[in-house]
Amino acid sequence: MDPHDPHDLHDLKVVENPDMKVEIYGELLNGTGIKIRLTNVEYVNEQVIHHWKTVMMGKGYLTVVEHDISAGHVTINCREKERVSWTTVGIVLIGVVLVVRYLYV
């Protein structure tokens, strides 16, 4: 299994919620991410939310977690992280080298 596959959501499960179900139930309106629904959630605290965010960050997403523990469900909105291309990194690096070279010559 690919740890960066957004459809592999097994890692979101935690010991505190053994009966929790995880499903992708849609894409964000602008197409830059997904919505995940967790149901049968019995326990939520900061550590559990941090775990969910860390798992999705490892898959390339920034997340917002919304929960209604009285209803037993959680919604995780996952937006793709912006990526910097290697071309951009190379151009910036060359620019820095040129500036430093001309400052010290």
Q: Give all strands of the β-sheet with 61-68 in edge-to-edge order.
A: 21-27, 33-39, 73-80, 61-68
φ, ψ of residue 90 in degrees (nearest 5):
-65, -45
| Contact indicator for 63, 45 with CB cutoff of 8 Å | no
Predicted pLDDT at 56: 92
98: Cα within 13 Å, side-chain hemisphere: 6
Could you read off the pLDDT tens digit of each residue along the chain, which spans 105 residues? Answer: 344 455 678 888 889 888 999 999 888 887 888 999 999 999 999 999 999 999 999 888 999 999 888 888 999 999 988 776 778 788 888 989 888 888 876
* CA atoms of 48 and 91, how far apart (whole Å): 40
The full set of domain ranges for the chain reads 10-103
> Was domain 10-103 assigned CATH 3.30.450?
no
